[in-house]
Amino acid sequence: FAEGNDWLNSRSSWDDSAVSVSFVCTNRIQGHQAQDQNAFVIYRNGFQATHGNLHSLWGLYQLTDGYNTLLIDGSGQASGGNWDEPTQTVHDIGNVPRFEEGDDYVYIVGDASDAYYTNAGQFGNGEERLLDIFTRELVHLLPNCVVVYDRVVARDPAHMPTWLLHTDDAPVFTGTRLE
């Protein structure tokens, strides 16, 4: 866990068949950061959950729809602010309030409640906050199980979240389990 950057990578081992899980939820620190609060990537013998940069034909893909996080009403996250324009508010849009690890697990909580605004635009701040709560808990149960649990409370129940999961191959549901 990179404290201060609020970025995690957990590996089950250094074997070729290891599971690697990455997670990010951090404040914007510069203008080229992706709009990817509470996003994760899972790798085991290939990407199981991927993101837009891995298949982008035009460089770094920064918009929310390319990451495993949420859209609200079909729109992505605010960019966090425009430091060239002092009249705009800079939102502290992500943080990790809890992280712990044990011999058989890694646990992290990301809080991106302040990442979604009306009229945020591609690189804008937005006007009114859309969510009261968007926390994501991710548990890597070593060696090869990953659990993701979201709490999402919209300020207006009409605001609809869309859960994004990017994969190279179509996922298969077995009962309530996604593989």
The predicted pLDDT at position 170 comes to 82
For the chain, what percent of residues have pLDDT higher than 70? 82
pTM score: 0.85
Residue 88 has pLDDT above 60, yes or no: no
CA gap 177, 144 in Å, rounded: 14
For residues 117 and 15, the model is more confident at: 15
Cβ pair 146, 139 in contact under 8 A: yes
Candidates 173, 101, 104; CA nearest to 145 is 104
For residues 32 and 149, the model is more confident at: 149
Cβ pair 38, 134 in contact under 8 A: yes
